[in-house]
Amino acid sequence: MASTTLYPSDYQVHLFHEGTLYESYKLLGSQMIEEANEKWTKFSVWAPNASEVRVVGDFNNWNGKGYSLHKVNKQGIWTISLNENLEGCLYKYEIITKNGEVLLKADPYAFYSELRPNTASIVYSLEGFKWDDSRWLNYKSKRNHLADPISIYEVHLGSWKKKEDGGFFSYRELAAELIPYVLELGFTHIELLPIIEHPLDISWGYQGTGYFSATSRYGTPHDFMYFINECHKNGLGVILDWVPGHFCKDAHGLYQFDGSFLYDYPNEHDRENSVWGTANFNLGKNEVQSFLISSALFWIRYFHVDGFRLDAVSNLIYWPNQTGRVENNDGAAFLKKLNTVVFQYDPTILMIAEDSTDWPNVTSPVHYNGLGFNYKWNMGWMNDVLSYMETSSESRRKIHEKMTFSLLYAFNENFVLPFSHDEVVHGKKSLLDKMPGDYWQKFAQLRLLLGFMMGHPGKKLLFMGFELGHFSEWRDQEQLDWHLLEYDMHKKIYVYAKDLLKLYKRSKPLYEVDHLRDGFEWIDVNNAEQSIFSFVRKSKKENDLLVFVCNFTSVVYHDYRIGVPNKGSYREILNSDQESFGGSGIVNNKVLQAKEEAFHGKPYSIKLSIPPFGVSVLRLVKHRKERKGDEKEKMHSYAIGRRKRK
């Protein structure tokens, strides 16, 4: 028996239409309510172009007769409350448009959805999960992430590892498999390709239908909560890829939701995203702002996520179909509003922009006229470095500036250095296979590339499989080539990746002030002829520094002189040419004593051996008197319950 009681409040409705209802999932969607010792299930939907709306599902044999929603206001909110507990039931909205067309739509605010190819929403309660991550949340609240190491392992859950029958691992199974693996490698965060519900596997989640629904491919919302809870208990942050720019056009989704272009632009030229075959969100519409900002806060509140990487920001700040770059003021204003609200709710959240443009002040606060993110992917660095690496070593001297240009702007924003999934698909080759030369040279240059990345200012992101030395591109329908670890060179690149990440986390010069010019200093920036780059990384503490020497050719040098800023002894703490990493063994085993001979504009200099296609990392040795009373450096990526913080 249907009831028209339990209406939404006028205040909620007002805020939703004003664009400031940031918990709009409490106004709309399906909610289970207990009132006067009776259990009700309320369904509410925004459909202003509808002449009638019915709720249909397995609880009424998909027959909407007698289940019509009541129209709350002229702006098109409809609601019905049923005197039943319908938890677990399938449902959709049967929308009759003003033109008489009948549409069957999934709930935009559903918390759970049927496994594809089925498309119904599922009544689901998010309550009842017992979180056990208070130590992580407390720890995070006391940290300054700009001064901490951040190394991100980017993962597509459906193809990281698969079962023998080709099926997906569940969220809970992935917690047991993926978390220990990422901890062993030494990353601080896991970034998940979009887990919002989406109909097509090969979209990787970037073309979604359920912005409040964790995809059912891997289990229930509570299962996903379990995965994040286990990450936090082990000291791993979780970042979600999130797509507020566009959505898929499948019939059951947001597209032409009530027969009108409700969530997207009314103008076809602005609405249609021909690159992805999707529809662009109308970011200037108040109700869409309530929808999207509520989605972001929803994942923070109910799933305890630690951050978002916003996909294709250029598609939001510029009109996508205009000739040339025409600024979308609505898109920029939306991002400022989003970031302001998110940081008011939780100032520890990482808001990361995937932006390939030169839009200024992306990571400046909104009150300083910035977009308000706290990080931006350094796409320019990524493109320049990969272009340089794909060039033969003999020709690299001609494009030397590709490796140095990024330092002209490296401190204009807070950057993440990304080698993401986008760089290892669609014919672009894997990171290893991008490297020119023979088998040995490919591995040597991959080690060199990763070492240069760790030395360059900026937080780090690497896509799954790099550590295996994948020769093949990422294949989203198959698991990673785990069998590669049976082969010597692949096993050694895995060991190198672990040691490199360990070095990164243990070395304050590599992260403590890497967003400031004070943390970086060139030694020799102009040696194009030999394609050798040398530089210094520094922490806040005086004399706490690392020296990087990177050789991008196959030539070996002995007694190679470089200038250094400090007097004293230098010890090589990592060399990518170590035999244990698969190298030729051109290393510097002895302590290198700086002489008072000025070189490279520095007051002192040292001589060392330079390996082929190698990176050498030197640390200024602290003697006992200097070390006395100093606190030992701590490993940032503590594992709660496994390691004791010093």
Instruction: List the one residue out of 150, 195, 149 whose CA is nearest residue 171.
Output: 195
**Contact by Cβ (8 Å): 550, 559:** no
Q: Is residue 134 part of a domain?
A: no
Query: In sequence order, what are the beta bridge partners of 308?
Result: 240, 351
Give the least confident one: 201-205, 250-254, 492-496, 569-573: 201-205
CATH code of 269's domain: 3.20.20.80
Number of independent structural domains in the chain: 3
Confidence of residue 7 (pLDDT cuts 50, 70, 90): confident
Predicted local confidence at residue 628, as pLDDT: 47
Instruction: Tokens 């605010």: give the residue.
Output: 109
Give the span between the Cα atoms of 294 and 108, in whole angstroms. Answer: 12
How many Å apart are CA 348 and CA 143, to the nearest integer?
8
Peptide bond into 360 cis (omega under 30): no
User: Given the DSSP bridges, would you call strands 415-419 and 375-377 parallel, antiparallel or unpaired?
Assistant: parallel
Strands (E), 343-486: 350-353, 375-377, 415-419, 459-463
Q: Is residue 270 part of a domain?
A: yes
Residue 400 belongs to a domain: no
Mark whether 157 and 249 lie in a shared domain. yes
As a whole number, mean pLDDT of residues 553-578 equals: 97
Domain check: are 260 and 217 in the same one? yes
Same domain, 115 and 154: no
Q: Is there a catalytic annotation at residue 330?
A: no
Which of 72, 106, 122 marks a domain boundary? 122
CA angle 588, 578, 618 (to 5 degrees): 40
CATH number for the domain harbouring residue 116 = 2.60.40.10
- If asked whether residues 221 and 339 sit together in one domain, one would say yes
The answer to whether 405 touches 397, Cβ cutoff 8 Å, is: no
Look at residue 43 and tell me if it is in a domain: yes
Alpha carbon of residue 642 to chain centroid: 26
Residues 110 and 161 in one domain: no
Residues 204 and 318 in one domain: yes
- Catalytic residue, candidates 154, 241, 264, 354: 354
585 C-beta neighbours (distance < 10 Å), count: 11
Residues 258 and 367 placed together within one structural domain of the fold: yes
Per-residue pLDDT band for 635 (boundaries 50, 70, 90) equals very low
Query: What pLDDT, on a 0 to 100 scale, did the predictor assign at position 324?
Result: 84
CATH at residue 586:
2.60.40.1180
pLDDT of residue 622: 75
* Predicted confidence (pLDDT) per residue in 141-192, tens digit: 999 999 999 999 999 999 999 999 999 999 999 999 999 999 999 999 999 9
DSSP 71-118: E-STT-EEEEEESS--TT-EEEEEEEETTS-EEEE--TT-S-BPPTT-
Question: Under DSSP, is residue 3 helix (H, G, I), strand (E, B) or coil?
Answer: strand
pLDDT at 404 over 50: yes
Q: Which of 317-326, 372-381, 527-536, 573-582 has the lowest mean pLDDT?
A: 317-326
Q: Would you state the pLDDT for residue 37?
A: 86
**Looking at residues 629-637, what average pLDDT do you find?**
41
List the one residue out of 72, 83, 106 whose CA is nearest residue 32. Answer: 83
Based on the fold, state whether residues 186 and 93 are members of the same structural domain: no
Q: Does residue 254 share a domain with residue 157?
A: yes
If one counts every other C-beta atom within 10 angstroms of the C-beta of residue 32, the result is 16
Structure tokens at 366: 């909104």
Is residue 169 in a domain?
yes
Quick check: is 506 in a domain? Answer: no
Q: Is there a contact between 248 and 205 (Cβ–Cβ < 8 Å)?
A: no
Instruction: Please tell me the distance from the alpha carbon of residue 223 to that of residue 175, in angstroms, as a whole number.
Output: 10
What pLDDT shows up at residue 15?
97
Residue among 107, 306, 311, 577 flagged as catalytic:
311
Q: Which of 345, 377, 409 is the last residue of a domain?
A: 377
Q: pLDDT of 201-226, one tens digit each? A: 999 999 999 999 999 999 999 999 99
Q: What is the DSSP letter of 196?
A: E
pLDDT greater than 50 at residue 93: yes
Q: How far apart are CA 310 and CA 228, in angstroms?
A: 19
Q: Is 354 an active-site residue?
A: yes
Helix axes 10-18, 286-303, angle to 10 degrees: 110
DSSP 146: G
Range of the domain at 595: 518-627
Q: How is 85-96 classified by DSSP, letter by letter?
A: --TT-EEEEEEE
Q: How many residues does the chain have?
A: 646
Q: So what's the pLDDT on residue 630?
A: 46
Is residue 541 very low, low, confident or very high in pLDDT (cuts 50, 70, 90)? very high
pLDDT digits (tens, 9 = 90+) for 124-136: 999 999 999 999 9
Within a domain: residue 294? yes
The answer to whether residues 112 and 161 belong to one domain is no
Question: Is the pLDDT score of 340 beyond 70?
Answer: yes
Average pLDDT over residues 612-636: 68
Helix, strand, coil tally for the chain in percent (to 5): 30, 25, 45
What Å distances lie between residue 326 and 32, 65, 250, 485, CA to CA? 45, 49, 29, 49
Does 155 lie in the same domain as 115? Answer: no
Is 646 part of a structural domain of the chain? no
| Residue 246 in this model has a pLDDT that exceeds 90 | yes
Quote the DSSP letter at residue 426. T
Please say if the pLDDT value at position 574 is more than 80. yes
pLDDT tier, 625 (very low <50, low <70, confident <90, very high otherwise)? low
Last-in-domain residue among 353, 377, 401 = 377
Cβ atoms of 556 and 611 within 8 Å: the answer is yes
Same structural domain, 219 and 356: yes
Q: Is a pLDDT exceeding 70 seen at residue 73? A: yes
The pair of structure tokens assigned to 110 is 């559903």
**Residue whose structure tokens are 């590892």:** 161
